[in-house]
Structure 1
Amino acid sequence: MSTATTTASTTTTGATVEFRGLRRAFGPTTALDGLDLTINPGELLALLGPSGCGKTTALRILAGFETHDSGQVLVDGQDITQVPAHRRDAGMVFQSYSLFPHLTAADNVAFGLRMRGTGKAERRNRAQELLELVGLPQHAGRYPHQLSGGQQQRIALARALALQPRVLLLDEPLSALDAKVRLNLRDEIRRLQQELGITTLFVTHDQEEALSMADRVAVLRAGRLEQCAAPAELYSRPATAFVAEFVGTMSRIPCTRAGSSVELLGRTFPVDGELPADGELDVLVRPENVGLVSNDAGAAVVVGASFLGSATRITVRLSDGTEIKADLPTEAAAGLPVGGNADVTLPDRPVLVDRRTA
């Protein structure tokens, strides 16, 4: 995609979006259970979570495609509950592209302008500007079936931007694309979003997409907000065990209580956050924080190795059957063959503790 210079007519100003106590149920199923969330002007916020967590429902309510049972949706302080979808000043990009097959790329981009009664010459100029912005000016006369999936999604993005919306809504727009195209397009979407300064809500179930693209990531679970934070904070300081295990990889290691601390692997560790009041406990550890030292008398047995390039993920098993993953430099991992023994080490810092799962 080209890095075409954005003209003044393409630049937009982002709005503040607020969900206040948002609730929505579909029969006995609660999709949103009191969602409170603010998206700052010009921010790209990703809604992340498993299927059924309520992320798409929240986006569709903001777009005006769904109604909420209670609560408020505000854009720049105005409650838009009674504002119809076509007047909400929001552009939307769907997973399935949703281009009109009988219209050229340029006519697809200009469709919303035509519906607004914009003159033909202005529509043509605006469409050309946006096609240049998304790197496809030479495809103006092509029809959707003559475009690749990535090109179709760029056209869909240009169409969503044509009306200069204050809010851009992205509903898993990359999930139908192959891995290489998805990687390139997510970088370009992020570049455009920052260039335009448009407030963007991005729904995805792909944690890598969320962490690489968003200013902040809001993790939902069963209609409730678990945590909303910058990607680095979300990954390194998860507020709950659910966030810790949903975002990135975690190993669970059984531990025992030692007053306000816990004991595991022959050592005592302080606890990060609250220690559950009862029940058996696990410590949650990311693979990059696990050290392995080859030792013929070590308590852990190497049971697997996955080459990841500069790093190799080693899986070891303790005598109680617990499996722990460790990411080591590939050169160091070569000294830990499958079947060999090792000692497991953890850094000297507080650990995240959760009740043991069944």
Structure 2
Amino acid sequence: MNGARVEFRGLRRTFGATVALDGLDLTVEPGTLIALLGPSGCGKTTALRCVAGFEHPDAGAVLLDGKDITRVPANRRDAGMVFQSYSLFPNLNVYDNVAFGLRVRKVPAAKRRARAAELLELVGLPAHGERYPHQLSGGQQQRVALARALALEPRVLLLDEPLSALDAKVRVALREEIRRLQLSLGITTIFVTHDQEEALSVADQVAVLRSGRLEQVGAPAEVYDRPATPFVAEFVGTMNRLPGRLDGQEVEVAGQRLPVHGETPGTPEVDVLVRPETVLVTAAYDGEAVVLTSSFRGASVRLLLRTDDGTELLADLPAHDAARLAPGQRAGFRLVQRPVLVGPRTTVSPPATATAAAD
């Protein structure tokens, strides 16, 4: 399969007074897996449905390899879609579910069955062709739905939160399988999810949406390490908010001066956004904080600290470094010297756990 280039140009879609997409501009390069990431109601599924042809924008255009397909019927678009709910036909066996689109296109029966068998081999279900959907697990049903979407050899694969109904272990295994298939087939894939870990682990590019607008698009490491806005910083990963004071292009926070990245508010009193892995903690009887909780995570430990001024923050440490930091102990901390984002000072700084998105 050869992946297609997909472009969203000034896409706008409203539902009554609700604005689902507000001038979305985004390009997906051929053969790329891009994750549309954002909170519920941000417009990511609406954008996907506009590519599929199930929604028609009020303004703007969807282009496939430079061709405007905005008003092309869904059945004439070169796209396959996998839904969150699988949407398998309960009265058809697995072979017939996979080959359904081929039957609609009047492909001869022998070719349909051969193609279905090929795809079931591809998704790891070669012996399940005669079974019916109710005889399959959730993960197996989703594999069948994926095979059905690939049967017509689409140039764009659309995945609408396809793993959200699965348990954690199956979800991780299947997302890795989807990534393997996408790389081997070279198919352009748009993956909608609200799970930041899922987006970061499988995508070439992550596009973060908020209220129908694109906040940032970039490689997973770029979006995580260099978020463009405070919203992206807090939605993608876990983030602490610490009180600070601006001084030119630096901010004073926790007894340190750190360079500021990005825009700054008009007031000197700000909140400084700091990731837990950039908080370095040591046991100290005269330290400025106390350990409230310690959560073992295998190779790492997450500590919740409270400073003497009442600010709470999270810190992620290697497990061997956290051995002496039990709840109730005093500790000192400092921040890694790196550029930080700042935002307007909140009335009351929330506990660090309150700003963790899908953590």
The TM-score bracket by the shorter chain reads over 0.9
TM (norm. structure 1) is: 0.95
80, 94, 98: which one aligns with 1:91 = 80
116, 119, 126: which one aligns with 1:137 = 126
Separation in 2, partners of 1:17, 1:118: 28
Q: Could you tell me which runs of 5 or more consecutive residues in structure 2 were left unpaired when the two chains were aligned.
A: 348-359
Q: CA RMSD in A?
A: 0.9
Deviations 1:304-336 (A, max 9, x none): 111000110011111222111111111211111
Superposed displacement of residue 356, structure 1 = 2.1
Partner of 1:285: 274
Partner of 2:350: none
Partner of 2:51: 62
Deviations 1:219-267 (A, max 9, x none): 0000000000100111100001111110111111100122331111112
The yes-or-no answer on 1:212 pairing with 2:212 is: no
SS of 1:210's partner is helix
Superposed displacement of residue 275, structure 1 = 2.2
1:153-172 maps to which residues of 2 (within 5 A)? 153-172=142-161
The yes-or-no answer on 1:18 pairing with 2:7 is: yes
Superposed displacement of residue 279, structure 1 = 6.1
SS of 2:127's partner is helix
Residue identity opposite 1:70 in structure 2: A
SS of 1:254's partner is strand
1:1-358 maps to which residues of 2 (within 5 A)? 12-278=1-267, 280-358=269-347
Separation in 2, partners of 1:132, 1:266: 60
Which stretch shifts more, 126-135 or 332-341?
Answer: 332-341
Residue identity opposite 1:74 in structure 2: L
The answer to whether the Cα contact below 8 Å between 1:46 and 1:216 also exists between their aligned partners in 2 is: yes
TM (norm. structure 2) is: 0.95
Deviations 1:28-87 (A, max 9, x none): 111001000000000000000000000000001110001101001000000001210000
Give the fraction of aligned pairs with identical amino acids, expressed as a percent: 69
Separation in 2, partners of 1:82, 1:23: 14
The answer to whether the Cα contact below 8 Å between 1:279 and 1:356 also exists between their aligned partners in 2 is: no
Deviations 1:140-176 (A, max 9, x none): 0000011111110000000000000011000000000
Superposed displacement of residue 274, structure 1 = 2.5
The answer to whether the Cα contact below 8 Å between 2:300 and 2:318 also exists between their aligned partners in 1 is: yes
Residue identity opposite 1:118 in structure 2: V
Which stretch shifts more, 343-352 or 196-205?
Answer: 343-352
Residue identity opposite 1:162 in structure 2: A
Which stretch shifts more, 315-324 or 238-247?
Answer: 315-324
Residue identity opposite 1:20 in structure 2: R
Matched residues, number: 347
Residue identity opposite 1:354 in structure 2: G
The answer to whether the Cα contact below 8 Å between 1:283 and 1:353 also exists between their aligned partners in 2 is: yes
Partner of 1:3: none
SS of 1:137's partner is coil
Partner of 1:4: none
Deviations 1:104-138 (A, max 9, x none): 10000000000001011110111111011111110
Residue identity opposite 2:201 in structure 1: S
Q: Could you tell me which runs of 5 or more consecutive residues in structure 1 were left unpaired when the two chains were aligned.
A: 1-11
Separation in 2, partners of 1:26, 1:218: 23
Separation in 1, partners of 2:274, 2:262: 14
Separation in 1, partners of 2:309, 2:14: 43
Partner of 1:7: none
Separation in 2, partners of 1:171, 1:104: 23
The answer to whether the Cα contact below 8 Å between 2:242 and 2:272 also exists between their aligned partners in 1 is: yes
